[in-house]
Structure formats: structure tokens, C-alpha cells
Amino acid sequence: MTVTETRAMLSVDAERSPGGRDRGPARKRRYTEDQVPLGRVLLRMLAGLVVLAIFILPYTIMFFGSVKTKAQIRSVDPTYFPTEWHWENYVNMWSTPETPLPQNLISTIVIAVFATLLVLLVALPAAYYTARFRFPGRMVFLFLVIVTQMLQPAVLTSGLFRQFATLGLIDTWAAMIFINAAFNLSFAVWIMHSFFAGIPKEIDEAAQIDGAGRLTVLFRINLPLVWPGIVTAIVFTFVACWNEFAASLVILSTAGNQPLSVALTKFVGQYETSWQYVFGVSIVAIVPVVVLFMLIEKRLVGGLTAGSVK
Amino acid sequence: MSSTTDTSSNPAGAATGRPRTGGAGRTGDAPAGSARGKPGGRDLAKALPWIAPALALILGVVLFPAGVMFYNSTRDISQSGVDKGSVGFDNYVEVFSFPYFWPIFLRTIVWVVVVVVFTVLISLGIAQILNKAFPGRRIVRLVVIIPWAASVVMTTMVVYYGLEPYFGVINKFLVDVGLIDTPEGYGWTRNPTTAFIWSIVIAIFVSLPFTTYTILAGLATVPGDTIEAAKMDGASPARTYFTVVLPQLRGALSVAVLINIINVFNSLPILKVMTGSIPGYDADTIMTMIFKYIQNQHKVDVASALSVVAFLIVIVIVAVYVKVVKPTREV
């Protein structure tokens, strides 16, 4: 399948809400045949605008704060909007005494990237095989996957702490890579499982009759078709690892090893917090993952709910 | 092109929890071994290379630490981490005899119930708005995602800053609209009660995107013609909503409530940022208390005992919830 075809598939999929194929025409009818009065459309737009304003508000405060000077952001009668725009904050913020922010950014990236790769490496074969073949213990395995979805690192932190201390992996990126991978595995398995299950088995069988081996079938026939599912799994895992907080807080004690989520909390309760830097770093950390999440908007719900409903 | 259509429609089926159609889907739902003869040990051996890595990760990094946690909850572990032998249930006694335990326990219930109830109610409203066609809807839907993707720590910190006396902009806004009298503010983040209430507000805010999206997915499955029919019969929009639409949302709401309960119960960053610097235990939940045992008091053994309690609470909530609401029931 070529790139353009995949694109087309993605966009076809994107047009469709999670209701499935049968919903397409129904929704179209509502768009075109119903003549909605202008007043009502304006009312809906107003409601939409209110929702938009509420959801964007904290991040607007964050952004405006990030370009204020320390004197402005800590002035007794603050202004809502920055009076001057100090873009140099985005350069200066990386050298603050509270925590080594460049290292924290690197930690965040390394942990998130490797945990995501590990999830992909481990979840892809499992999702493929459980969707395609039956074997004794298959339901037990899938049940285990659901159980991990119900558990979060926070509730197991004391156990994780002791285990990784015994292994000598406390305060290492490796520990956080394993933890993030393990707790995000279930979403990846479920979303990819449902995509694999959606490919008619006949396609596999036809390829096998033509002499293709199992791995060839997986890589050449199936993977191009489940690509949207893989992208969803990658993005969701990456964003979750990027923002992980509870386990990192306990496992990573050296300042330089900590991800941004943990490092930034050190600014709270300081006598003179450099809020403009906190917000600058936050903006840098938030924008990429927000864009990633927006790319998989239509499939965000699927992987989270599929497991629970099954 | 036909295979393309199949691919795109099936994950959609998964999203709504309907049983998947097609050959591969059938194998998942029928009891094992009914159609194709008995699968034997050889099949398992063949499957292992494919599932073993995932299994290893789940067993090694989720279930084994859970076991370690249960074991540690009965041990005496020194501050430096040396295991000094069994103490039976002493750690549990310490957890339950802590004078603040029951207030913390009750506060945890308030935390979960209030956040989840308000999240679901507000999300129902937002989903209703976003389900209607209007110019710019797509942008609004995308913006709603932001608190979901953004780090909860960072979202919380901006609110914490905003509430600061004198220079916080939320505080200033509250002064400007006349809700509070002095720019000194209310000491929002200094007082455990107000800090806790603001934490609830933040928790609701960051839970809205997922909940709204789940409800939107549910609304998408409500057939347009049943709504048409209700309209034809002269039902008011409100009546249509409560008698036709809401019952169809049962599945989506069940999933949303369940996942929210677990998320909110396990939530740490909001309270850690908002109330972490307040001395005492008047704004703690079970989860923040676990971390206080680990980080401030270096009592991993007592933390493990409280974690086991938390773990059991999660399991009980999930079990009771599944039993009462039966979220797996096909609607």
C-alpha cells in the first residue's frame, strides 16, 4: 500500500465517528437535510466558544506568564496580559538553580522514547497473535492485560520501589522505561488487537497459499493495514510516558535523572518562584504532546474502552 | 479498497464495545475449542514466542511488584531499606491506628465521588454541545483534548500560581469581579480545606476530556431515526434526551465512570502540588498518604500496608461497580 492510500484510509477513518460504518449516512443527513435556523447555529457557536475558552484558559495564563519578567509575574497588581513580550525567557529558563532543566528534558525524552519502543516491540506480536490465533491460555492472557489496565503505578509504587532497589536499578532510566512500558502495554495491545481482528483472515490465508511465511504475512500484509492502530498506540504510549509522575517521583531521586513532570514540582513553595520559567518549560513540554494527541483524536477512546467493555 | 473500508470500520466497533464481526473476531468470543477441535499444548508452545515478552513485562513489572508489596506489608523494613523480619500485621495496625486515617479515608471517598459525579455531569453537557453541528466545532473538539495531553503537574501548577496571594491572576480575577475583598486573597493554597476544594476543581477539569470523548463516542451510536421518531411523537427535546438518548449512553457512561473512579482514586500530582507544602494531614487522600510514608517518613513497610489497603479498595470498587452496573451488558 502506498503512502497516499494510507493517507486516504486515515482520512476516511477520521471522517467517521466511533459509531462505525452504519453511522456515516445518518450523520450526513443531519448535516445537509436538516435546515438549522441561523439563530440556533449562532447559539451553538456561542456555547462552543464558551467551552473553548474554558479549556484553553489555564494554558493561556501559562503562555502569557512565560513571556513576563519575574518582576511582572510577581507584581502585586498583576496584569492579565503581558505588557512586554520577553521571548528571551525561552532561552534563559534552561539555567535555573532549582533543577537542571536541560537534563530533565533529556530524561523525559529518553524515558518516553525507549518505553514507547519497548511497548511496540512487545505489544505488536502479542496483539497480532491473540487476534489471529487461538491457543490455550489466550483468554487468561487477555484477562491479565485488562488487569494491568485497571492498575496504575501509583498504587504499586512501594512494591516497585523495593523491587527495583533489590535489582540495583533504583534511580535509573531503565527502571522507569520498564515501568512505563509495563503499565501502558494494555492500551497498545487492545488497540492493535482490534485492528488486527478487523483484517479478514482470508487475506492471510491467500498470502500463505501463495507461499508467504508467517512473518512475511505479518510484515508485508498485516502491518500496512493496521498502521493507524500502531500510530495510535505509539502516540498514546508516548504521551502517557511523557507525563508520568507518581513512579518517577519515588524511583528517580537524582535531580538530573528526573523527568520534567517531577522536576518542575520543586519550584512550588519556593520563596521566590521563577514562575515565568516554569511556564516556559511547561509550554515547551505541552505543545508537542498536544499536537500528537490531536493527530489521533478520533481513536483516543477506542483503546481505553475496548478492554473494559469486552 | 474494500479491505480499506473493513479496516476502518472495525476499530470503530471496538470503540463502542460491540462484538467484532468477521472471522478473526469470532474466535475471540466463542468458548475455546468448540469449533476447531481441542487446541493442545503444541498451540501454546507456538504462541509463546509471540506473547512471552508481553507476559514477562506484565508478570515482572506489574504482578511481581504487587506480590512484593503484599509481602513487605508484613515485614519490618528499616529506613535504610534493610528487612528486619516479619512483624505480622503490625504495619496494618499502624495504618489504622494513625489518628488521621479515618478522616483521610473519608476525604478519599469525597474526593472520588465529587470529582467523578461532577466530571460526568459536566461532560454530558459538553458532549451535547459538541455533538451538534456548527462552524468551528472541529476546533473546539481539538481544544478540549489539551488538558488530556498536557501534564497534570503543569496544569495544576498554573492554577497554583494563579491562586497566589497578591500576584496570582485567578486571585486577581476573583477580586476584580468582587468575589473576594482583598488582593491578599483567601490563602487558597495555604489553607487545607480551600486547597483541597481547588484540587477537586482541577481534577474535574483534567478528567473532562476523556469523559467527554467517551460520551461523544456513545452519542455517535444513538440512531438518528429513534430521535426523529421521538420528535415526530411530539416529545420535547428534554424528554427525548432523558428517555431516548440517555439510556443509550449506558455503556459509554459505565466505562467513563469506571475509568474515572480508578484514575481519580490513583491521582497523585494534583494534591501533591496543591497541598503538598501544607503541614499536617488535613488535605490528604490515601494516595498522598502512601507517598508521605515513603518519601517523608521512609517507612516502606507501612506504605506497603496502606498500598495493599488501597489496592483492595480499587478491586472492591471495580467488582461492586461491575456487579451493580454491569458495564459489559450489551445495550
Integer CA distances (angstroms), B62 to A80, A115, A160, A250, B268, in order: 46, 15, 8, 16, 19
Look up the ipTM and state it.
0.84
Interchain CB distance below 8 Å, A12 and B49 = no
Measured CA to CA, the distance from residue B288 to residue B271 in angstroms comes to 7
Integer CA distances (angstroms), B51 to A141, A303, B26, B46, B112, in order: 8, 19, 20, 10, 35
Query: Å from B109 to nearest chain A CA?
Result: 16
Contact status, residue A45 vs residue B134, Cβ threshold 8 Å: yes
Q: Cα–chain-centroid distance for residue A31?
A: 31
Interchain CB distance below 8 Å, A200 and B23 = yes
Q: Which fold has domain B102-325?
A: MetI-like fold (1.10.3720)
Interchain CB distance below 8 Å, A268 and B294 = no
Q: What percentage of chain B reaches a pLDDT higher than 90? A: 52
Map out the domains of chain A with their CATH numbers.
19-92 (no CATH), 101-309 (1.10.3720.10)
Contacts of B13 (CB under 8 A, 6+ apart): A20, A194, A198, B19, B20, B21
Chain A residue nearest residue B263, CA to CA: A152
pLDDT tens readout for residues A68-97: 988 888 888 888 888 889 999 999 999 888
Measured CA to CA, the distance from residue A114 to residue B70 in angstroms comes to 30
Those of residues 76-135 in A touching chain B at CB distance below 8 A are: 76-78, 80, 118, 121-123, 125-126, 128-135
Chain A residue nearest residue B65, CA to CA: A159
Domain regions of chain B by residue span: 102-325
Specify the amino acid at residue B266. Answer: N
Cell of B175: 477580586
The pTM of the whole model exceeds 0.90: no
Specify the amino acid at residue B181. Answer: D
Residues in A closer than 8 angstroms to B172, CB to CB, are 77-78, 80
Q: Which of A55, A286, A309 sits opposite B151 (nearest CB)?
A: A286
Q: Which of A78, A273, A310 sits opposite B17 (nearest CB)?
A: A310
Interchain CB distance below 8 Å, A134 and B64 = no
Interchain CB distance below 8 Å, B62 and A148 = yes
Diameter of chain A by CA atoms?
Answer: 77
Measured CA to CA, the distance from residue B217 to residue B196 in angstroms comes to 32
Q: Which of A158, A196, A265 sits opposite B294 (nearest CB)?
A: A158
Q: Which of B16, B65, B310 sits opposite A18 (nearest CB)?
A: B16
What are phi and psi for residue A267, nearest 5 degrees? -75, -25
Partners of B83 in the β-ladder: B77
pLDDT tens readout for residues A243-264: 999 999 999 999 999 999 999 9
Residue-wise pLDDT tens for chain A (310 aa)?
333 333 333 333 333 334 333 444 444 444 444 577 888 899 999 999 999 999 999 999 999 999 998 888 888 888 888 888 999 999 999 988 888 999 999 999 999 999 999 999 999 999 999 998 888 888 889 888 887 878 889 999 999 999 999 999 999 999 999 999 999 998 899 889 888 888 888 888 888 888 888 788 888 888 888 888 899 999 999 999 999 999 999 999 999 999 999 999 988 877 778 899 999 999 999 999 999 999 888 777 765 555 443 3
Chain A residue nearest residue B159, CA to CA: A58
Residues in A closer than 8 angstroms to B3, CB to CB, are 199-200, 203, 225
Runs of H (alpha helix) within chain A = 3-15, 23-32, 38-66, 70-73, 89-92, 101-132, 138-150, 153-166, 173-197, 201-209, 214-216, 223-243, 246-251, 260-264, 275-295, 300-309
> Over chain A, what is the mean pLDDT?
83
Residues in B closer than 8 angstroms to A16, CB to CB, are 8-9, 12
